[in-house]
Amino acid sequence: MKTKKKRLIERLRPQHFDLKHVLLLFIILVAAQVLISFVQKISLRDFLVETQEWYQRDSAERFANLAATSMELLLETTSPAQRRNQEERRKIVQAFDIIFSQQLLLQHVVETCVLVSNGEKIFAVDNGEVLYEYFFDNQTDLPPSDMPHDEAIRMYQQFRGQIASTEQIHSVLEGKQTFHVFVPFVPKGEYAGAVYIKNAPDFGFVTREILASYNQSSLVVMGMILFGFIGMFFISSSTVQERDEAQHQLFKEREDQLKERIHYQKEAQFAKRIYHTHHKAEKVMGFIKEDLRALTAANLDEVKYRVTKYANFMSRVIYDMKSYDPPIQVIRNPIFQTNLNEVIRFIIDHICLRTAKQSEKYKFQLHLDEQLPVVHINEFVVWEILEPLLQNSMDHGGDKDVIIAVRTQYDCNRRQAKVLITDNGKGILPDLMQANENGVKRIFLEKISTKENGYNRGYGCYLAYEIAKQRCGWELDVENLPEHGCQFKLVIPYHD
């Protein structure tokens, strides 16, 4: 059971947004339907109550008027000869009793009698024998009736004068459905009293049936709304699923395109990096040849040290040709114990000054912090970062003698080192110092060079920035100095 419930929840979860909207609309419409039904039900109930009250009053008055008319006709049609005949007397009394009993046999008639008076005294007559004696035998002291009619007598005392003067039917409503009806009793045109009928008709079942039918209609309407919204939900869910499937296919296609583009960019960057370092490898091979030709017993250790470094650099170049995305462990690894100061000295002494056509034109000032900790970066990856920056300061120094200062600093509190490369050259053009939307200055972008012309340009600072930022996690920046020249700043964080 729990598994089925979980599956149902999992199926509905992707459509929760549409489900919320459908539920919200359904609740609003149901609330509106309930409110409308409530208002209409109240209006209908009031209408039915007013209609029933009118009908009940009219039917009660009709019953009472019919009884009074029947008695008046019976009195008017009785001749003196019939009164002397005992058989006729019995028939007349029986007729009076029938009139009384027929009224009582009606479903809603509770009480019936004839109210007559002797002076101020009022009598309630509810059987034919007493009524016969009152009208035909002129007996004024009537016996009490079997059923007490105190309420009828009390009410008649209040309205007797009004009924006698107007000779019109007078009815009083008690509660919501009990009517006390007084019909003037006028046999042979003379006012003799009133026929009283207490009528309590109940038409509530009609109201209940109508309201129940109305409630059923409201439930049917709400049910239709519910099923309509369920249908809308399934239709919208199907549409949303189709839309999501189309979006998924579109995103998959874009993902494939993006992967292909990234793959192409990596391959392109790989080709540019190898192309850029190829001429450096040629120079290094030339240095190796020169050192081997100049090899003597006296310089054996010095040449061996240089050739070993050159050979390791060549091995690194050849290894980089194997893949455009080498494993991270061949770049950053605790087994690497690279001394930055040593790398800087070797690059300056055996690369920069050895490749310069006029080495006496360049002067390097080294201010190296011997407390600088080793970095866990491959030595020749560091070489690929520092060499283009030093070469940039040499190439753009101008016609005067170039002084390049290299400084290393270590901040033990921040646990970070800095490598500052400063020159007294012409500096960097302002347009190359502008940053793009990603905050990268133009000098570090691809195919952007400070050289006016030349071969294989626009890759040195770009590759130095990409390797430092992406592979080593270092920060590289450049700024023009206030007096002249520029300064490259390499920030190296140390992590535990």
Say if CB 218 and CB 36 are below 8 A apart: no
Domain CATH number, residue 106: 3.30.450.20
Give the CA angle between residues 172, 176, 177 to the nearest 5°: 70
CA distance 296 to 291: 10
Tally the domains of the chain: 2
Give the CA angle between residues 238, 240, 241 to the nearest 5°: 65
Q: 5 lies in a domain?
A: no
Q: 127 lies in a domain?
A: yes
For residue 261, is pLDDT > 70? yes
Domain CATH number, residue 333: 3.30.565.10
Answer with the one of 152, 187, 202 that is the final residue of a domain: 202
Query: Which amino acid is residue 15, in one-letter code?
Result: Q
Per-residue pLDDT, 341: 92
Say if CB 480 and CB 389 are below 8 A apart: no
Which residues, 6 or more positions from 425, have their beta carbon under 8 angstroms from its beta carbon? 393, 396, 397, 398, 402, 484, 485, 486
For residue 207, is pLDDT > 70? no
Q: 21 lies in a domain?
A: yes
Per-residue pLDDT, 83: 66
* CA-atom Rg of the chain in angstroms: 59
193 and 334 in a single domain? The answer is no
Supply the range of the domain harboring residue 350. 327-493
For residue 236, is pLDDT > 80? no
Q: 299 lies in a domain?
A: no
pLDDT band at 455 (very low <50, low <70, confident <90, very high): very low
pLDDT band at 1 (very low <50, low <70, confident <90, very high): low
Q: 233 lies in a domain?
A: no
pLDDT in tens, 119-158: 778 888 887 888 887 887 777 777 777 678 888 888 888 8
Answer with the one of 156, 176, 202 that is the final residue of a domain: 202
Q: 377 lies in a domain?
A: yes
For residue 358, is pLDDT > 60? no
Q: 72 lies in a domain?
A: yes
User: Backbone phi, then psi, for 403, in 5-degree steps?
Assistant: -110, 120
Q: 287 lies in a domain?
A: no
44 and 189 in a single domain? The answer is yes
CA dihedral 161, 162, 167, 169 (to 10 degrees): -130
CA distance 333 to 374: 12
| DSSP code string of 132-144 | HHHHHS---SPPP
3-state secondary structure 406-442: EEEEEECCCCEEEEEEEECCCCCCHHHHCECCCCCEH
Answer with the one of 183, 202, 221 that is the final residue of a domain: 202
341 and 477 in a single domain? The answer is yes
pTM as predicted: 0.50
pLDDT band at 463 (very low <50, low <70, confident <90, very high): confident
Please tell me the total number of residues recorded for the chain in this structure.
496
Name the one residue in this structure whose structure tokens are 């029933």. Answer: 52
Which residues, 6 or more positions from 371, have their beta carbon under 8 angstroms from its beta carbon? 410
